[in-house]
A and B are shown apart, each in its own frame.
Chain A
Amino acid sequence: MMRANFKATLLSIVRSPSLLFWPLAFPIILSLVFSMMFSGLEQAYRLQPVSVAVVRDANYDKATGFDELLSSVDDDGDEWHVFDVSSVGSVAEAERKVVDGDVSGYICLDADANPSLHLSPRASFSLGSGSLTSAQSVLDSYIRVRSEMEDLAKKDPMLLADPTVLQRFSSDAVSTERLSVTANDPKASVRYYYALLGMAAGIGSVLAMKAIRETQANATALGARRTLAGFPRWRVLVSSTAAAWLASYACLAVGFAFIRFVLGVDFGGREGLALLALGAASLVSSSAGAIFGTFASDSGSGVLTAITCVLSFFAGLYGTYSQQLSDQVAHNLPLLAAANPIRQISQAFYSLMYYDSLEPFAAHCATLLVTALVLGSVAAVRMRRTSYVNL
C-alpha cells in the first residue's frame, strides 16, 4: 500500500510541469546568470584608482619627492594604481572640478608641505572605502618618510648624508609571506552558487506541500477519497513525503550537475559528499513542506516561498550586502545562523571546499538531519491529530 501511494504521488508530481518548473529550472537559470555575471568577480576586489586634481602651486614645488611619489602610483598598467592625476593651478579651480563631477577629489599641500586629500561625497558611493583608504595611505607614507627623516636629523644630522641609512627606511629586507591555510584557494563566486543550491532545496518544499495537501480530506476531493481508504495516516505521510523528497532531490541533483559539470563550479573534488548534503537538504525541505501540506489553505506555496526567500537572504544569496549581513549574524548570533537550514546547506558545501577535515561537513549535515527530524515529527503530529468537520 505504501509503495502504491509512493508511486501514485511520484507520478502525480512528475505529471505537473508547472509544479516541477520552479525547483528544476530555478537553479539552472539563475546559475547561468551567475556564471555570466561573475566571470570577473575574482578581480572585483581590486582597488579602483581615485581621479584627483593636484594643486600645483608654490607649496607643491617645495615638497621634495612628492611629485615622484604621485607619478609612481599613477600608472595604468601597475597593480598599485591608486590615483588618476590631473593638474590645476589653485584650490578654487580644484574645488570647481570636484563640484562639476570631473574628478573624485583633489590634493593640495600646506605651507609645511603636508599633503591633504579632499573628496566629493559621491566618491564614497562609486569607489568604496578601500580605494579611498589606499589613496590616504599613499599620502600617509609621504608624511611618515618625512617624519622619519626629521627624527634622524634631530638625532644626528650626519645620518641624512649616509644614503645606506635612508635606503633602509624603504628596504625590501622586511617582508611578509602569504599562507594558504584552506584545502582549496578561496573563490568569491562559489558562495553565490552554494547559497543558490540552498535556495533551490528550499523551493523543493512546494512538492511535499502539494503531495501532502492532496491527502487531506478537507482540501481536495481526491484527499477525501484517499482518507476513506482506511490507510494509517503516518504511512500516507511517509510514503507521500518520500515521493516528494525523491522528486525534489532529483531536481536538485540536475541543478547540481549543471552547476558542477557545465559551469565548472568547484566543490573541492568531493562531489559524492556534495550529493549527500543535497539529500539531507531536500529531506529538510520535504519535511517543512509536509507541515504546510497538512493545512488545507491555498496559501501554503506563497508562505513557503516567503520563508525560502528570507532564509536565502540570510544565507547571503542576494548580493554583497546580503553576504555581509549573513556573516554578521553568524558571528554575533551563531545559534540563529545554525537554525537557518539554507545557510547550513551553503556552509556544508563550504566545508567540503575549504576544510581538510570532514568534521565541519559532518556537523552541518547532522544539523540538517536533526532539523528534518524535528520538522518531520511536527508534520506527523499534525497529520495524525488534526481534526476537522466535527461537531
Chain B
Amino acid sequence: MSIFKSALRVLWRHKLYVLIYLVMMTAMGVIISSQANTGGVTEYTAAKPNVAVIDRDGSQISRSIATYVSGSGTEVQVDDSQRAIQDATAEDAASYILVIPEGYGDDLMSAAADGQDAPALRTVISYQSAAGSLMDIKVKQYLQSLYGYASATGADQEEVARLASDAMSREADVSIVDTGDSSVSEALVQYFMWTEYPLFCSCAVCIAVLMKSLNGDDVRRRLLAAPTTSFSRSLQEFAACVVAGLVAWAFVVIVGLAFYGQALVANAPATAALLSLPSLAYAMVSVGVGFLLGQMGVGEELANALANVGGMVMSFMGGAWIDLSIVGDGILSVAHLAPSFWATQAIDKVLGIETAYTEAGVEMWGCLGIVSLYAIVFVIVAFVVGRARLQRS
C-alpha cells in the first residue's frame, strides 16, 4: 500500500493541474450551461431574437411595424448609420435589423389602394441563427395584413394599423406534454457533455505527470529495490490513477447535480445516477490515456499539449461543443471512432429511458460498453508500452 499512498502524495503535489483543469474548467462548464434552460422543460417559450428597427418614416404604419417587431423579439438600439449597422452585424448584436424608409406609410397605403406593389423594406439578417429569417417571414405576414386591410377597408393609417395588430396578436396555444422526463434540464445535459473536456484534461495530465515522476530513473530504482512483486507495484500505481479518475468524476457529478440537477435527484434519482455513468466511463478512458502518456515517458509540457489538443478534439468529435447533425457523413463516421462520441450518445440515450425503457436502456448500456472498452484498450496498451520500456532500460 505504500506505493499507492506515495503515488497519491505525488498527485497531490501537482494539485495546481487539478485546480486548473478540473475545478476551473468545470466552473466554465457551469457558466456555459447556464446559457441553456436551467429548469425542467414544463412550459414552452418562443424564441426571442435580438431585433432593431430604424424608422426613417415615423408614420402610424411604420410605428406599428416597429412595435410589432420589437414585441416579437428583444429590442436592441442600433443608430441610423452605416458604421452602427456594420457593428451590430459583425458583432451579431442583432439577429434582425429592419430599416423603414421615409414615406413608407403613405406609399404602402397608396399602393394598396391602386393594387400596386409597395416599396420593399430593407433588412439585415444574421447568419448565426434561423431566428432572423423567421422574423423576416413574420414581418412579411404583418405587411400582408396591413396591405390587405388598407386595400379592403379603405381605412386610414391608424385604423389599418390597429386591425393588423389585432389580427397578428392572435396566436396558437403551445404546451409541453408531460412525458415523465421533464425534470432533466437542458442545462444539466449540456453540463455533462461539456465536462468531457475537464475530465479528459485533468485525468490525462495529472496521471501522465504522476507516471513520469514514478518512472524517473532514481525513483524507479528505489521502487524496484522494494520487497514487492512487479505485479503488486504496477497494481498499486494503477489503483492511484483510478482513484484520481474517480475523484475527478465525483467532483464533476456533484457540481453538476448541485447546480442543475437538484429537481432531478429529488424526482428521479435513478435517472440522475444513470446520467452520471457516461462520465464515469469517460473518466476511465481519460485515466487510460494519462496512464499511456506516462508509460511513454512524455514530459510535462508535452502532456499538457497532448491532453489539451486531445481533449478539444474529443469534445468536438463527440458533439459536446457543436451539434453533430451539421457535420458531413464522412466526419460522422470518423466521430464514431472517438470514445467521446459514445459517451455523448449514452447521455442522449439516458434521456429516452423513461419514455421507452427497454429499447433506450439497451442502447445506453451498449454505448457505455463501447466507452469502457476504449478505457480497457488504453490501459492494456499502456501496460505493454511500460513493460517494453522497462525491458529496454
Interface residue ranges, A against B (CB under 8 Å): 18-19, 21-22, 25-26, 29-30, 33-34, 36-48, 95, 98-101, 105-106, 114-122, 124-125, 129-134, 136-137, 139-144, 147-148, 151-152, 155, 159, 164-165, 168-179, 181-182, 185-188, 206, 299, 301-303, 305-306, 309-310, 313, 318-322, 324-325, 327, 330-331, 350-351, 354-357
Interface residue ranges, B against A (CB under 8 Å): 16-17, 20-21, 24-25, 28, 31-33, 35-37, 40-42, 44-47, 82-83, 85-86, 89-93, 98-99, 108, 111-112, 115-118, 120-131, 134, 136-141, 143-149, 151-153, 163, 166-168, 170-177, 179-182, 184, 186, 189-190, 194, 197, 299-302, 304-305, 308-309, 312-313, 315-317, 320-323, 325-328, 330-331, 334, 351-352, 355-356, 360
Pairs A–B under 8 Å by Cβ, sample size 15: A26-B305, A33-B317, A37-B322, A101-B352, A122-B181, A168-B152, A169-B152, A171-B144, A174-B118, A175-B121, A176-B120, A176-B140, A327-B91, A331-B91, A354-B86
A125 B351 Cβ-Cβ under 8 A:
yes
Interface of A is mostly: helix
A119 B177 Cβ-Cβ under 8 A:
yes
A355 B86 Cβ-Cβ under 8 A:
yes
Known A21-B305, A144-B168: A318·B32 in contact at CB below 8 Å: yes
B85 A188 Cβ-Cβ under 8 A:
no
Which chain A residues border B127 with CB–CB below 8 Å?
42, 45, 185-188
Which chain A residues border B33 with CB–CB below 8 Å?
321
Closest A residue to B301 by CB, please name it.
A18
A174 B41 Cβ-Cβ under 8 A:
no
Q: Which of B46, B121, B141 contacts A177 (CB 8 A)?
A: B121
Which chain A residues border B194 with CB–CB below 8 Å?
321
B148 A169 Cβ-Cβ under 8 A:
yes
B137 A137 Cβ-Cβ under 8 A:
yes
Question: In whole angstroms, how far apart are the Cα atoms of A350 and B177 in the complex?
Answer: 43
Closest A residue to B151 by CB, please name it.
A168
With A30-B312, A99-B179, A168-B152 given, name 13 new contacts (CB 8 A): A25-B309, A44-B323, A99-B355, A100-B355, A117-B175, A124-B44, A130-B134, A136-B46, A164-B115, A173-B111, A175-B143, A176-B136, A177-B122
A21 B45 Cβ-Cβ under 8 A:
no
* Nearest 7 interchain pairs by C-beta: A319-B321, A169-B148, A139-B172, A44-B326, A174-B143, A121-B41, A129-B47
A168 B179 Cβ-Cβ under 8 A:
no
Which chain A residues border B302 with CB–CB below 8 Å?
18, 21-22
Question: In whole angstroms, how far apart are the Cα atoms of A181 and B129 in the complex?
Answer: 18
Question: In whole angstroms, how far apart are the Cα atoms of A118 and B82 in the complex?
Answer: 43
Closest A residue to B148 by CB, please name it.
A169
B32 A325 Cβ-Cβ under 8 A:
yes
Q: Which of B139, B149, B152 contacts A176 (CB 8 A)?
A: B139
Which chain B residues border A173 with CB–CB below 8 Å?
111-112, 115-118, 147
A143 B309 Cβ-Cβ under 8 A:
no
A330 B91 Cβ-Cβ under 8 A:
yes
Which chain A residues border B20 with CB–CB below 8 Å?
302-303, 305-306, 309
Q: Please give the distance in Å from B47's CB to the nearest CB on chain A.
A: 4
A148 B352 Cβ-Cβ under 8 A:
no
Q: Which of A134, A174, A327 contacts B92 (CB 8 A)?
A: A327
Which chain A residues border B17 with CB–CB below 8 Å?
302
Which of B20, B40, B125, B148 lies at the interface centre, i.e. has the most chain A CB atoms within 10 A of its CB?
A: B148
